[in-house]
Amino acid sequence: MDGLLLLQKLYDTSIPLVIFDPQYRGLFDQLKYGNEGKKLKGRFQLPQMPDTVIASFLKEIDRILTPSGHVMMWVDKFMLINSIQSLVAGTSLKVVDFITWNKGRIGLGYRTRKKSEYLVIIQKPPVRIKGIWNVHNIPDVWDEKIINKNHAHSKPIELQKRLIEAVTKMGETVVDPTSGGYSTLTAANEVGRNFLGCDLLG
């Protein structure tokens, strides 16, 4: 299912946390590798999301989030540096923090080789911490190796569990409109939260 359709079906101000991992084209445009070879073939076969599409997802997310709710968005380094502010420009959302995920294995890159990804923490106003963010020992650099990778872009389950616990209560619902291998479903269920998510590819 298209994640935008899923978001459009949800009520205004009903969801405390969206974890959003868009299939961002930017990194590959930046790297401009001529022949990515077998290693990246799987990634190129996934539906790509231009900035305009990511911005429309964020507009819907803004609408469904509860006041002081969060969207946590996975980005690569180019998106972190170049695009975040313009992507949230048409919304009420405020960037409040980010986490560097050290994947523990080295990837590609012309200058430096890619070993990390970033999770940008974005909050809907009113921006508040007290009574909203309830776990206070999460470091802003997180080491976690993916062991059972079931998707080209699997994300760390332990980190996602900690973050879900930080900003939601037992029985509340976490939404992921581009679920990929459904690491967010696993994370949400393991900490007793409900989950709503989908992926264009199933």
Ligand X SMILES: C[S@@+](CC[C@H](N)C(=O)[O-])C[C@H]1O[C@@H](n2cnc3c(N)ncnc32)[C@H](O)[C@@H]1O
Asked if 185 and 173 touch (Cβ cutoff 8 Å), the reply is: no
179, 185, 187, 190 alpha-carbon torsion, rounded to 10°: -170
Alpha carbon distance 125, 106 (integer Å): 37
154 binding ligand X? (CB under 6 A): yes
Q: How far is the CB of 130 from ligand X (least distance, A)?
A: 30
Alpha carbon distance 64, 72 (integer Å): 14
Nearer to ligand X, 68 or 71 (CB): 71
SS3 20: strand
199 binding ligand X? (CB under 6 A): yes
201 binding ligand X? (CB under 6 A): yes
Alpha carbon distance 3, 49 (integer Å): 11
Alpha carbon distance 45, 180 (integer Å): 13
Q: How far is the CB of 35 from ligand X (least distance, A)?
A: 22
Nearer to ligand X, 7 or 88 (CB): 7
168 binding ligand X? (CB under 6 A): no
Alpha carbon distance 23, 178 (integer Å): 8
Kindly indicate which of the ranges 102-110, 112-120, 127-135, 175-183 contains the residues binding ligand X, using the contact rule CB under 6 A. 175-183
- Token pair 């590609």 is found at 108
Closest to 126 measured CA to CA, from 99, 90, 92, 84: 92
Nearer to ligand X, 91 or 179 (CB): 179
Nearer to ligand X, 35 or 148 (CB): 148
Q: Which of 33, 39, 44, 47 forms a contact with ligand X (CB under 6 A)? A: 47
Alpha carbon distance 139, 123 (integer Å): 18
Q: Which of 155, 161, 162, 193 forms a contact with ligand X (CB under 6 A)? A: 155
46 binding ligand X? (CB under 6 A): yes
14 φ/ψ angles, rounded to the nearest 5 degrees: -115, -10
Nearer to ligand X, 54 or 65 (CB): 54
Q: How far is the CB of 110 from ligand X (least distance, A)?
A: 22
23 binding ligand X? (CB under 6 A): yes
161 binding ligand X? (CB under 6 A): no
Q: Which parts of this chain interact with ligand X (CB under 6 A)?
A: 2-4, 21, 23, 46-47, 49, 151, 153-155, 177-181, 183, 198-201
